[in-house]
Amino acid sequence: FYYLESRFNKSQIYTKLYENNRIQLYRDQDIQLLEPHMCATAELAYQSMINFSKNQSIIVSGESGAGKTVSAKYAMRYFSNVRGLLEETQIEKNAIGNAKTIRNDNSSLFGKYIEIEFLKYHICGASMRTYLLEKSRVIYQAPDERNYHIFYQLCTQANQSDMKSLIFCK
């Protein structure tokens, strides 16, 4: 709440999150002196890990369409660009685990647990686990909602023999 209130009080309700030079501003800085940003949260977690020698967690939560996936992506981009982690592609995960819902055309319908491993304060690995995929969506969608994107991509990209091998056609 502190970050939202401070930006509101400065009449700065929008932040240019997409610029790489903005991401670099948060490296090795006292985040209290900079504008609120998801990168500030990532840097604080990194600094706390170093200063207190303790594992850190960043939990991103909220309602559908609130920007959880995008916020997590920016934290990962921060670690990628500033701390040297190779960035992974979001496209495959989005196709497999996202679908159109009433509230969001590209809703993530699964939880992600991402672990970044450090050795002597340098990133040495990362892993991701997914949870709570809506299996029922495969056979039933509410009105104005759709199945997972991957099925539509397969139907538009696959040739007839691929479709038969995937048992989409008889």
Pair (157, 167) in one structural domain: yes
SS (H, E, C) 102-157: CCCCCEECCEEEEEEEEECCEEEEEEEEEECCCHHHHCCCCCCCCCEHHHHHHHHH
> Taking all residues of the chain, what is their mean pLDDT, rounded to a whole number?
81
Reported as a pLDDT band with limits 50, 70 and 90, residue 130 is: confident
Pair (78, 94) in one structural domain: no
Pair (79, 92) in one structural domain: no
What end-to-end distance do the CA atoms of the chain give, in Å? 55
Q: Is the predicted pLDDT of residue 155 greater than 60, yes or no?
A: yes
Q: What is the mean pLDDT of residues 101-105?
A: 86
Give the predicted TM-score (pTM) of the model: 0.67
**Structure confidence at residue 170 (pLDDT):** 47
Can you give the residue range of the structural domain that contains 27? 1-86
Q: What is the mean pLDDT of residues 38-62?
A: 92
Task: Give me the residues paired with residue 130 across strands.
Answer: 112
Q: Is the predicted pLDDT of residue 168 greater than 70, yes or no?
A: no
Angle between helix axes 68-83 and 38-52 (nearest 10 degrees) is 60
Pair (51, 9) in one structural domain: yes
Pair (92, 165) in one structural domain: yes
Give phi and psi for 27, each to the nearest 5.
-65, 125
The DSSP element (H or E) to which 80 belongs, if any, is helix 68-83
Highest mean pLDDT, choosing among 12-21, 63-72, 152-161: 63-72
Q: Where does a domain end: 49, 69, 86?
A: 86
More confident residue, 85 or 24: 24
**Structure confidence at residue 88 (pLDDT):** 53
Which of 5-19, 88-102, 120-134 has the weakest average pLDDT?
A: 88-102
Pair (39, 104) in one structural domain: no
Pair (7, 60) in one structural domain: yes
53: left (phi over 0), alpha (psi -120 to 50) or beta: left
User: Which of 140, 81, 85 shows the shortest CA–CA distance to 114?
Assistant: 85
Pair (92, 166) in one structural domain: yes
